[in-house]
Amino acid sequence: EDSALSTSIQTLKKGRLNVLVGPTGSGKSTFADILMGLLKPAQGFVEVNGIKISKDTQISNKCIGYVPQEVNFISRNVYENIALGVSSDKVNRGRVELLCKAYNLHDKIVSNFEFGYETILGIEGAMLSGGQSQRLGLCRAMYKEPDFLILDEPTSAQDSLSSSMIWEELRKLSKDTLVVIISHEVGKIKSDDYVHY
């Protein structure tokens, strides 16, 4: 399943990471907004599996997961912050906990938060470090099992070990999900990743 940015510019593919590389100000984040249908491209169109994406296309909310550089929180517990938009009585708590284990948040939550997953994070997310906030954002994006995942500098606040772990988890994920990473971390790119400049 491929996603064509346009008929002449680029094709993003499943099976490997798609990494967008470029200097600050080169338009990488704007490009992500276009991919999500938030901005209209000056030329051409974005198409996912034959469906054109725009602000009016319902598929954009259903199948696209997005992890921004700065993750926002709501004044709710950890479950509700990850299952954002899902009513509290319908949150799949088991899935939330599995995701937190996969992205190295579980121990922090159960050991350091007074009420574990029931702890209210607060709008600022003050109890989380920058790296933990990014990992929570990744859990949030993965909760709805997107077909298309976009990550904007997802490991900029991570230590080297956590960063490497996240890149490897995303490589595994890319077998079934179209993964696009905007990143300056050229050193994390492997020879079999798709790199777009």
Q: Is the pLDDT of residue 49 over 60?
A: yes
Q: Determine the number of helices (DSSP H) and then strands (DSSP E) in the chain.
A: 7, 9
DSSP designation for 8: S
The CB-based long-range contact list for 58-63 (8 Å cut-off, 24+ gap) reads: 60/36, 62/144, 63/146, 63/147, 63/148
Please, what sign has the CA dihedral across residues 197, 164, 77, 113? Answer: negative
Q: How far apart are CA 24 and CA 21, in angstroms?
A: 10
pLDDT-based confidence at residue 61 (cuts at 50, 70, 90): low
* pLDDT at residue 1 is higher than 70: no
Buried-exposed string 183-196: b where 16+ CB fall within 10 A, e elsewhere? bebeebbeeebbeb
Model confidence at 2, in pLDDT bands (50, 70, 90)?
A: very low
Provide the whole-model pTM: 0.81
Cβ 178 vs Cβ 14: under 8 Å: yes
What are residue 149's DSSP bridge partners? 65, 179
Q: Across residues 108-128, what is the average pLDDT?
A: 89
What confidence score (pLDDT) does residue 185 get? 75
> Tens of pLDDT along 152-171?
888 888 888 888 888 899 99
Contact 53/60 with Cβ under 8 angstroms?
Answer: yes
Please tell me which of 2-11, 51-60, 142-151 the model is most confident about, judged by mean pLDDT.
Answer: 142-151
**Considering just the CA atoms, what is the radius of gyration of the chain in Å?**
17
Going from the C-alpha of 95 to that of each of 54, 80, 85, 99, 164, the distances in angstroms are 30, 12, 15, 6, 23
For residue 187, the 8-state DSSP code is G
Query: Residue 195: in which H helix or E strand, if any?
Result: strand 194-196
- Closest of 195, 172, 175 to residue 185, by C-alpha: 195
65-94 pLDDT tens trace: 899 888 999 999 999 999 999 999 999 999
Q: Is 155 helix (H, G, I), strand (E, B) or coil?
A: coil
Task: Say if CB 156 and CB 123 are below 8 A apart.
Answer: no
